[in-house]
Amino acid sequence: MALFCPKCKGIMMPKKTSTGKIRMVCTCGYTTKDKEKIVLKEKIAVDKKNKINIIDKDIKTDPKTKVDCPKCSHGEAYYWLLQTRAADEPETTFFRCVKCKHQWRSYD
């Protein structure tokens, strides 16, 4: 059974009739024949690889800031910003220690 109206190509919605059967109805007025049972299914594929890879990052051009490295406690690191989540959320700040090259991120 089609979910889209063959007449106007709009989305049809299920509606129960007075006899208890179900038919698909469109806002343009098109209706399907009565059915005993309609099953709507949805499948969502989720990418389980939430890994962010930084490829060949030229760190020499990035600005430095005063922040303590969580690995070696050095007080200076390079930083850059990337939009890693939805556009209405703040960007992620990435840091790389000047001394030990340890890399971490901040979501603040």
Q: Same structural domain for residues 63 and 26?
A: no
Q: How many folded domains does the chain comprise? A: 2
47 is catalytic: no
Q: Which of 34, 68, 89, 91 is an active site residue?
A: 89
- Does a structural domain hold residue 37? yes
Q: Same structural domain for residues 39 and 66?
A: no
Residue of higher predicted confidence among 3 and 64: 64
Instruction: Please report which helix (H) or strand (E) contains residue 97, including its range.
Output: strand 92-97
Least confident piece of the model among 28-32, 54-58, 95-99? 54-58
Query: Which pLDDT belongs to residue 82?
Result: 87
Average pLDDT over residues 35-56: 63
Which structural domain, as residue segments, surrounds residue 21? 1-43
Which DSSP state fits 8? T
Q: Same structural domain for residues 63 and 38?
A: no
Average pLDDT over residues 11-30: 84
pLDDT tens for each residue of 68-100: 999 999 999 999 888 888 888 888 999 999 999
We report the CATH number of the domain holding residue 93 as 2.20.25.10
88 is catalytic: yes
Q: Same structural domain for residues 39 and 65?
A: no
Q: What is 25-61 written as a DSSP string?
A: E-TTS-B---BS-------------------S--GGG
Q: Same structural domain for residues 32 and 71?
A: no
Buried b (16+ CB within 10 A) or exposed e, 39-78: eeeeeeeeeeeeeeeeeeeeeeeeeeeebebeeeeeeebb
Global pTM? 0.44
Within a 10 A sphere around the Cβ of 100, how many other Cβ atoms?
A: 13
Q: Which of 34, 88, 91, 108 is an active site residue?
A: 88
Q: Same structural domain for residues 39 and 64?
A: no
Q: Same structural domain for residues 63 and 102?
A: yes
